Structure 1
Amino acid sequence: MQSPGTVLTVRQVAAYHAMTLVAPAVAERFRPGQFLAIAVGGEHTSLLARRCFPIYEVKSDYGGTVELVFEATDPGTNWLASRRSRDAVDVIGPLGRPFPLPRDPASCLLVGGAQGASGLFSLADALRRRDCQTHFVLAAPHGAQIFGARSAQRIGDSATVITRDGSLGTAGSVPDLLPRIIDESRADVIYAAGPTALMSAVSSVAAAHGIPCQVSVAELLASTSACGIGTCQSCVLPVIGDDGITRMARACTEGPVLRGERVRWSDLGTIPLDAMGGPRAPSSAITAP
């Protein structure tokens, strides 16, 4: 639903900005894993496309608030970072397919990369209400890029921080350390959100261990200008269906939550030749006798 949102606060959180909006209509309908599409730049801007962000937290304050976390790296997000209390923004949400939740109590491993991890904290709350264990893995190249380490330690049954340079937590990479964490947590299911390379790696490790893996590609939406409602087609990616046929899925509508083993990660940015409706190789020329 499209509705006006009123800025409550914008604050700096490590390398990121956290914005809290009063948006009762969005808060009422939100389910973990969904996202917002926000118009940026003001009424007279040339920035026509919206920016999409995963939702970090929803509260009942002021009739319903939603909080999102973003990095100010372009004119659109810089404009958002410059908003002040009581400013109005145009919001569409909540959008997209949410995370499916286990029917029974389970051990859940939540893997988040950089600010993409923000979308996992509302999921953790929902899992805990179902008596599930929640084990966090937060990863980033540098310690300043880790989001939510203290919150993860507070609410999770365990929390592991991994940085490539060792500036915070354990030095290393998620693909190298994740198998041990899976064994120690006795994970029944993996949920992941963050950069594409991380989602691909987590999906591969999960498949090797035979563990269901649900990934959010919301950061793919956040890194591009997108409509958020399936019209602009800027967020398509190849996904294998239940029938084994590859189709081009829209991250904003068929996602952002997808089964990790179904995404053809190595073909992102392309339309595979074997995808339904995709391009076909030219037929051989017929030589006249």
Structure 2
Amino acid sequence: MPEARAPVHVDGEVVASKRIGGYRHLTLTAPGVPERFRAGNFVAVSVAGHVTRRTLWVHRVRASSAFGPTLDVVVEARGSGTAWLTAQPVGAKVAITGPLGRAFALPKEAVSCLLVGEGYAAAPLFPLAERLRERGCAVSLVVSAPDEARLLSALEARRSARSVTVLTADGSVGQRGTVGDHVDDLVRRSEADVVYAAGPSHVLRAAAGAAERVGAWSQVAVETSMPCGTGLCHGCPLPVVGEDGVDRVVRACTEGPVVRGDRVRWDDL
């Protein structure tokens, strides 16, 4: 699985901030980061008054703009750190480290791919869909959420994939239900050779299980707290089964966050 290119530590700037549904979409300059980015990488942002950083999935990379190359990230205000981030005005300076983590591995051949994401954590699937389409892969995309406000970029999804399925647990838009309710049928209908998933652990587990039941390969982008994002603090344990069949614990921010779905010890996560 490919590793991130060497990360850089830079002073970035908020050049756009937009509230969409339950999330804040930020566009950031981060000199040197967009050029090194691969789908599935993340960035770590320093937060005023906090020792630990906040790690953010990259939703989109723009190679050129009035500000040069930029990153789009999606933030949900869940605590004081993310609330601080969502409150930063255009022009605010932010310290950014990235790109970090292992990226998604891309198929060597044009195969059928199913991408399954929930909430803001579906963000890395959008640049992944672009890379897969460039390789001639048939891309089917599932975007899910508890409700419409927390559904990420459903309209954009239709420009990124051959087919799109929208799921909301409350039925406010798209089909009613969760990923767990529908994923086996979606895997079969898409005739997926590879399943990629990003979101909470229950979504990842459901997608990985559905892939395994039909003999497909899966990769999951694990959503977990990563206090430093660089592997130094060992504060993001990820229980897996190694290639040798031995149980071990790795660091989600360096050996992950993207790992094979059949290697995660879900009961211990």
TM over 0.5: yes
Contact kept in structure 1, 2:226 and 2:253, CA below 8 Å: no
The question of whether the paired residues in 2 share the 8 Å contact of 1:165 and 1:172 is answered with yes
* Separation in structure 1 between the aligned mates of residue 233 and residue 31 of structure 2, nearest angstrom: 27
> Aligned pair 1:135/2:150, yes or no?
no
Structure 2 unaligned regions, length at least 5: 1-7
1:14-163 alignment to 2 at 5 Å?
14-41=21-48, 45=49, 47-60=50-63, 61=65, 62-163=67-168
Q: How far is 1:145 from its partner?
A: 1.2
> Which of 255-264 and 204-213 deviates more?
204-213
Number of equivalent positions: 260
Q: What amino acid is the match of 1:249?
A: V
Residues 225-264 of structure 1 aligned to structure 2 (within 5 Å): 226-264=227-265
- Give 1:24 shift: 2.7
AA partner of residue 207 (structure 2): V
Amino acid of the structure 2 residue aligned with 1:69: V
Counterparts of 1:181 and 1:197, CA distance in 2: 16
Contact 1:117 1:148 in 2 (8 A): no
The structure with the largest alpha-carbon Rg is 1
Is residue 198 of structure 2 the alignment partner of residue 197 of structure 1? Answer: no
Q: Distance in 2 between matches of 1:252 and 1:56?
A: 18
Q: Does 1:213 align with 2:218?
A: yes
Give, as a single letter, the amino acid of the residue that structure 1 aligns with 2:38: R
Distance in 2 between residues matched to 1:155 and 1:265, nearest whole Å? 30
| Alpha-carbon distance, 1:63 to partner | 2.4
Q: Give the partner amino acid of 1:7.
A: V
Structure 1 runs of 4+ off > 2 angstroms?
Answer: none
**Does the C-alpha gap of structure 1 residues 85 and 198 become closer, same or farther in structure 2, counting only changes over 3 Å?**
same
Counterpart-to-counterpart distance in 1, 2:40 and 2:167: 23
- The residue identity in structure 2 corresponding to 1:155 is S
CA-CA distance at 1:149 after TM superposition: 0.7
What SS does structure 2 have at the residue aligned with 1:63?
A: coil
1:129 maps to amino acid: E
Superposition CA RMSD, Å: 1.1
CA contact (8 A) 1:107 1:185 kept: yes
Please state how far the C-alpha of 1:175 moved relative to its aligned partner. 2.2
Residue 171 of structure 1 corresponds to which residue in structure 2?
Answer: 176
State the identity as a percent: 44
Asked if the contact 2:170–2:176 (Cα under 8 Å) also holds between the matched residues in 1, the reply is yes
Q: Deviations over 1:114-133 (max 9, x none)?
A: 11111110001111111111
CA–CA distance in structure 2, aligned partners of residues 105 and 225 of structure 1: 34
Q: Matches of 1:232 and 1:77 in 2, distance apart?
A: 20
Cα deviation, residue 225, structure 1: 5.6
With the length of structure 1 as denominator, give the TM-score of the two structures: 0.88
For 1:187, the equivalent position in structure 2 comes to: 192
Q: Provide the secondary structure at the position in 2 that maps to 1:161.
A: strand
Could you tell me whether the CA contact under 8 Å between 1:175 and 1:205 is conserved in 2? no
When normalised by structure 2's length, the TM-score is 0.94
